């Protein structure tokens, strides 16, 4: 079942009754709206004047609903997840912690190869030059010592948004960087949710190791999925819609990311479901029962 994503951009009072999320808008005279908590996958809280009861938070977390809060720039900045995400969590933590360096390097190699192949497939779909990316994907070695990931990313964005004057991929750069930032933040939340549900530590990465990064593993595993954000943002830009400001309409488009169709091994499913397949396959690699992480194949 596809879990719903709820976005709150206005003042609201959120509570719970009879396993339902109850929504009251102080400026609205209409009766409270109710949504079954079991249907929810993500709740995004943007407005600073939103009140949430502890009872509701507890039920959302028990349902493994990711609660995302936003900063003054309206970008997702925090993620609330359960302390215990899986019944075998302690054992799964142990397997993750004892993973060898060669295994981590191999996992990162697979991740980078999948990411670059997806970038190449996306450029090819847009009838843009992609041969270099397809070649670079085959040249990635264990641990990506030659840093093909960064080289390919620079080439990819230079070509994908070549029609946008002065564009370069930078968090504080000109639009559509604002759309990419928002989309990647949603994708990061989806990834962290799946990792916690699988019983893994989102903070212990296979490549990303910044001591200030609480979602290092999420940043690793989401890499091959970034292409779905890129494709959606590209379509928005091509439509001619104004992207200088992140409007309610644009956010609604970007919040559809968890439900986007994704193909793994020829089987299509919503992105949030596919991400769980990826994180479960990652655990199997830590366990030693598999050597392959299941990543999406863009365009298939």
Decide: 255 and 232 in contact? Cβ < 8 Å. Answer: no
pLDDT value of residue 30: 83
Domain residues of the chain, as ranges?
4-80, 89-287
Average pLDDT of every residue of the chain: 94
Alpha helix (H) residue ranges in the chain: 54-62, 89-97, 101-125, 131-139, 148-160, 177-198, 216-221, 226-238, 248-254, 271-287
Is residue 82 over pLDDT 90?
Answer: no
pLDDT value of residue 240: 94
pLDDT band at 299, cuts 50/70/90?
confident
Is residue 1 over pLDDT 70?
Answer: no
Annotated binding-site positions for Mn(2+):
149, 208, 223
| Percent of the chain surpassing pLDDT 90 | 86
* Helices 271-287 & 177-198 angle (0-180, nearest 10): 50
Is residue 193 over pLDDT 70?
Answer: yes
pLDDT value of residue 289: 97
Residues in the chain: 300
CATH of 4-80, one of 1.10.10.350, 3.100.10.20, 3.40.930.10, 2.70.98.10: 3.100.10.20
Decide: 82 and 61 in contact? Cβ < 8 Å. Answer: yes
Q: What top-level class would CATH report for the domain 89-287?
A: mainly alpha
Is residue 191 over pLDDT 90?
Answer: yes
Annotated binding-site positions:
149, 208, 223
Beta bridge partners of 42: 5, 66
Q: Which residue has the tokens 């169709």?
A: 261
Classify 256 in phi/psi space as left (phi over 0), alpha (psi -120 to 50) or beta: alpha
Phi, psi of 269 (to 5 degrees): -160, 165
pLDDT value of residue 209: 85
Alpha helix (H) residue ranges in 39-176: 54-62, 89-97, 101-125, 131-139, 148-160
Nearest to 104 by CA among 241, 237, 207: 207
Q: What is the mean pLDDT of residues 252-258?
A: 95
Q: Which residue has the tokens 């596809």?
A: 2
- Buried (b) or exposed (e) across 62-85, using 16+ Cβ within 10 A? ebbbbbbbbeeeebbeebbbbeeb
Strands 66-70 and 40-45, by their bridges, are parallel
Segment 260-297, tens digit of pLDDT: 999 999 999 999 999 999 999 999 999 999 999 999 99
Residues 6+ apart with CB under 8 A from 146: 139, 140
């Amino acid at each position: 079942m596809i879990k719903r994503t709820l976005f709150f951009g206005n003042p609201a009072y959120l509570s719970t009754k009879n396993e339902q999320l109850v929504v009251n808008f102080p400026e609205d005279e209409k009766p409270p709206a109710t949504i079954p908590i079991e249907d929810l996958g993500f709740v995004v809280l943007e407005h600073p004047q939103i009140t949430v009861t502890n009872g509701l938070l507890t039920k959302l977390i028990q349902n493994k609903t990711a609660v995302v809060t936003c900063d003054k720039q309206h970008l997702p900045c925090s993620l609330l997840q359960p302390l215990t995400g899986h019944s075998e969590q302690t054992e799964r933590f142990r397997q993750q912690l004892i993973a060898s360096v060669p295994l981590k390097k191999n996992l990162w190699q697979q991740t980078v190869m999948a990411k670059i192949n997806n970038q190449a497939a996306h450029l090819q779909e847009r009838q843009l030059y992609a041969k270099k990316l397809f070649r670079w994907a085959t040249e990635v070695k264990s641990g990506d010592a030659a840093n093909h990931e960064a080289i390919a990313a620079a080439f990819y964005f230079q070509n994908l948004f070549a029609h946008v004057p002065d564009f370069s991929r930078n968090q504080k750069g000109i639009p559509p960087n604002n759309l990419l930032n928002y989309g990647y933040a949603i994708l990061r939340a989806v990834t962290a949710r799946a990792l916690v549900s699988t019983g893994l530590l989102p903070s212990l990465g296979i490549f990303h190791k910044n001591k200030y990064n609480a979602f290092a593993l999420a940043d690793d595993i989401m890499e091959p999925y970034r292409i779905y954000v890129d494709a959606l943002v590209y379509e928005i830009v091509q439509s001619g819609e104004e992207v200088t400001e992140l409007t309610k309409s644009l956010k609604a488009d970007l919040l559809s990311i968890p439900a986007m169709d994704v193909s793994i091994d020829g089987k299509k499913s919503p992105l949030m479901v596919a991400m769980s397949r990826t994180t479960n396959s990652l655990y199997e690699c830590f366990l030693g029962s598999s050597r392959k992480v299941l990543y999406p194949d863009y365009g298939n």
